[in-house]
Structure formats: structure tokens, C-alpha cells
């Protein structure tokens, strides 16, 4: 980030605040900056012009503006109404309530966020932080998970006492936090009483079959409840595929082919959800043997267009997977036998 240009745009009395300061102190990469200043709109437009970023209002209610760049970096400019200390007192956790003056000088840390950082402690700024924004319930677990921190006893008690509020935020905000959790993060949600109100449970996370995709954790933890969130079409397809999956009857090539036909490219995730590790090796082996080309194409069959062509080609693929046919001629003979008279 070009901090001199940001400082020029933001004017005097501007501060870097929030997660950027926290991550700087932890030696973590800083991709996004949050700058508190007197005139966010003016600052965002000035910096956007000089840096070539896209400028737009982030929150009409709070007066925040964002400058976004094609590589994913963002700089947010937020209003500073009553001085930096008053601003920091409105934040969620002490480790996020540290400010650094953009024009140089000592950090501002009225709540002891830096000592908490060094101790790995996540401490709520006040007893009202979760009432003010219930999304912070999920953020507390996500920060524990990502940073390796732990809530102090009082803050953990606040989380447990406010667990019923966890459904209050918009679905998009809930999903953004859940997507970043590890399996241990979901277990921590359950431990704190936050997972059940979301319709989730941890039993499916305790299986022994390997999973391939990080999104599997969402399906395993939330099950059908995931479909009520504003998920992408791709995640919806993954979730529905896994949730409706049935295990193979056995590890024969034919059964594995049928299972893969219904579940790929998420066959291993489906096995993880079903907790059927005994079939994982057969799926991996079948994938390695997938032919580069089909034995037949639809236009090679002397049949009118329609679903029958797809059915026959799938039957050919299944017989090939089972080792019954292996050549084009054998495939054509099979189709002739299977085709309607």
C-alpha cells in the first residue's frame, strides 16, 4: 500500500485502525487498510484518483467509503467523529482497538490491545459488543481460529450468554465468517453454543473418510441448513450432491462408477459425509483409470436425437468401467443389443 499517498488523501489526524494494525504487529500480511479520518468520501475519491482504484460508498449509514483494486486489495475510509479514542471504544475486541497515526507517532492503545496480542487473548471491548453487532459472535470464533488466540473467561461468558443472537445478522455476513473457519473452528462454535442455533452439528466432522474441498466443512457442519444461506450456485450443487449421496453397495468397478456418476467431482467429499472410508481408495483408483476419450459419441449412433442416446452412452461407459467392453466395436455391439427394436 502507498501509505504516503493515503495519508495525503486522508489529511491530518488520520489513523490506520483495526485488523491492519493487528496484523502488522503479528507480522501477518496486510492486504486491506482501514483508515479513520475526518472526511472519508473526499479522502476515498482523492486516493482513488491518484492510485487508480474503483471508489464507491461502503455504508451510507456509517459514511464509509472504499477504494478497491483489481488485485483484491482495498482501502476503506471511515469517519472519525469524536477523536480516535472514542472510535476505538466502539470496536469489537481489544486487539482490533489499536490505531497507528498515518503521519507518524506512537500507537494509540487505550484498552491494552497490544498486551493482549502478545498474550494471544481475545478480549471484548465492552459487555455490549455482541448486542451491538451479533456477527461478532462468529467473528470471535473466526479470530480464535485464524490467529490461534483464545477468548478470555469473561468474553467467553458473554458469547455463551448471547448465543441466541447468532442468527440475527444477514445471511451474507454469516456465510462470510463461516467460510473462513477450519474444522476446529466449527467445533469451537459448537462448544460455545453457536452452531446449534444455525442448524448445525459436529457429528459429520468426526468421520474418517478424506474430504477434498474446503467447502465440504460447511456442508458437514450445517447440513440442509446451509441451503438456507445465500450460497453460490456452485456451492449449492456441491451441497445437494453430498446431501443426497448414497454409498456404493460394494467396491466393485461397476458400483464405484455408479457412485461417481452421481457425485463427481465431489465423490470423496460425499464419502466423507457418509463416513465410508473403505471406498475412498477405489474412487481414487477409478479416477486414475478414467479414459481420455469415450468409446462412442452420440453422433455415431444410428438413432434420432433424444434422451435414449444419453442413456446408451452412459451404459457403455458403465460397462467399460466394469471391464466388460474395451473397444469401439464392442461398444457398438452392446448398443445394438440394448437399442429398442
Contact 91, 98 (CB under 8 A): no
Does the pLDDT value for residue 333 go beyond 90?
no
What is the model's pLDDT at position 328? 85
Q: What is the pLDDT of residues 224-266, one digit of tens each?
A: 999 999 999 999 999 999 999 999 999 999 999 999 999 999 9
What is the spatial order of strands in the sheet that 32-37 belongs to?
54-59, 64-68, 74-79, 32-37, 15-17, 99-101
Nearest one of 195, 260, 191 to 221, comparing CA atoms:
195
- Sorted by where each starts, the structural domains of the chain and their CATH numbers stand as 1-113 (3.30.460.10), 120-198 (1.10.110.30), 245-265+278-338 (no CATH)
Q: What is the mean pLDDT of residues 153-176?
A: 97
The larger pLDDT score, comparing residue 339 to residue 197, is at 197
Q: What is the pLDDT of residues 299-309, one digit of tens each?
A: 777 777 778 77
What are the cell numbers at 82? 469524536
Query: How distant, in Å, are the alpha carbons of 21, 244, 276, 325 from that of 233?
Result: 36, 16, 27, 37
Contact 309, 301 (CB under 8 A): yes
**Residue 281, CB-side half-sphere exposure with 13 Å CA sphere:** 2
Q: What is the mean pLDDT of residues 149-160?
A: 98
Q: What is the mean pLDDT of residues 261-276?
A: 96
**Angle subtended by helix axes 328-338 and 307-321, to nearest 10:** 130
Cβ within 8 Å of residue 70, ≥6 positions away: none
Does the pLDDT value for residue 287 go beyond 60?
yes
What are the cell numbers at 227? 441451503
Q: What is the pLDDT of residues 2-38, one digit of tens each?
A: 788 888 888 889 999 999 999 999 999 888 899 999 9
Residue 321 phi/psi, 5-degree rounding, is -60, -35
What is the model's pLDDT at position 205? 92
Does the pLDDT value for residue 341 go beyond 70?
no
Q: What is the mean pLDDT of residues 211-233?
A: 96
Using pLDDT thresholds of 50, 70 and 90, give the confidence band for residue 310. confident
Averaged pLDDT score across all residues of the chain: 92
Does the pLDDT value for residue 273 go beyond 70?
yes
What is the model's pLDDT at position 112? 96
From 83-87, 286-290, 314-318, the region with the lowest mean pLDDT: 314-318
Q: Which of 268-277, 296-305, 309-318, 330-339 has the highest mean pLDDT?
A: 268-277
Specify the pairing of strand 74-79 against strand 32-37: parallel
Does the pLDDT value for residue 71 go beyond 60?
yes
Q: What is the pLDDT of residues 121-142, one digit of tens each?
A: 999 999 999 999 999 999 999 9
Q: What is the mean pLDDT of residues 80-96?
A: 94
**Helices and strands: H and E segment counts in the chain:** 17, 8
Using pLDDT thresholds of 50, 70 and 90, give the confidence band for residue 1. low
Q: What is the pLDDT of residues 165-204, one digit of tens each?
A: 999 999 999 999 999 999 999 999 999 999 999 999 999 9
Cβ within 8 Å of residue 270, ≥6 positions away: 241, 242, 245, 259, 263
What is the model's pLDDT at position 297? 83
What is the model's pLDDT at position 340? 65
pTM: 0.87
What is the model's pLDDT at position 195? 98
What is the model's pLDDT at position 68? 94
What are the cell numbers at 330? 464392442
pLDDT > 90: what percent of the chain? 74
Amino acid at each position: 500500500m502507498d501509505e504516503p499517498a493515503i495519508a495525503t488523501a486522508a489529511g491530518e489526524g488520520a489513523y490506520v485502525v483495526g485488523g491492519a494494525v493487528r496484523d502488522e504487529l503479528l507480522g501477518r500480511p496486510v492486504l486491506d487498510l482501514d483508515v479513520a479520518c475526518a472526511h472519508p468520501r473526499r479522502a476515498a475519491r482523492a486516493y482513488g484518483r491518484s492510485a487508480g482504484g474503483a471508489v464507491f460508498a461502503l455504508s451510507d449509514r456509517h459514511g464509509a467509503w472504499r477504494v478497491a483494486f483489481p488485485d483484491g486489495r482495498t482501502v476503506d475510509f471511515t469517519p472519525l467523529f469524536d477523536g480516535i479514542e472514542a472510535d476505538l471504544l466502539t470496536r469489537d475486541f481489544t486487539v482490533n482497538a489499536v490505531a497507528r497515526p498515518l503521519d507518524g507517532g506512537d500507537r494509540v492503545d487505550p484498552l491494552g490491545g497490544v498486551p493482549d496480542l502478545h498474550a494471544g487473548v481475545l478480549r471484548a471491548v465492552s459487555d455490549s459488543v455482541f448486542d451491538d453487532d451479533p456477527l461478532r459472535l462468529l467473528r470471535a470464533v473466526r479470530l480464535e481460529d485464524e490467529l490461534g488466540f483464545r477468548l478470555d473467561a469473561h468474553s467467553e461468558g458473554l458469547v455463551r450468554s448471547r448465543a441466541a443472537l447468532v442468527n440475527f445478522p444477514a445471511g451474507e455476513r454469516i456465510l462470510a465468517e463461516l467460510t473462513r473457519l477450519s474444522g476446529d473452528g466449527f467445533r469451537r462454535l459448537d462448544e460455545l453454543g453457536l452452531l446449534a442455533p444455525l442448524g448445525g452439528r459436529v457429528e459429520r466432522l468426526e468421520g474418517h473418510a478424506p474430504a477434498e474441498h474446503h467447502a465440504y466443512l460447511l456442508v458437514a457442519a450445517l447440513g440442509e441448513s446451509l441451503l438456507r444461506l445465500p450460497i453460490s450456485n456452485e456451492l449449492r450443487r456441491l451441497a445437494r450432491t453430498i446431501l443426497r449421496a448414497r454409498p456404493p453397495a460394494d467396491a466393485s468397478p461397476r458400483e464405484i462408477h455408479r457412485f461417481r456418476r452421481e457425485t463427481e467431482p465431489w465423490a470423496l467429499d460425499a464419502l466423507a459425509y457418509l463416513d465410508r472410508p473403505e471406498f475412498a481408495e477405489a474412487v481414487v483408483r477409478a479416477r486414475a483409470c478414467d479414459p481420455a476419450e469415450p468409446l462412442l459419441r452420440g453422433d455415431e449412433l444410428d438413432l434420432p436425437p433424444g434422451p435414449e442416446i444419453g442413456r446408451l452412452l452412459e451404459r457403455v461407459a458403465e460397462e467399460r468401467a466394469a471391464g466388460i467392453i474395451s473397444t469401439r466395436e464392442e461398444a457398438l455391439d452392446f448398443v445394438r443389443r440394448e437399442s429398442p427394436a
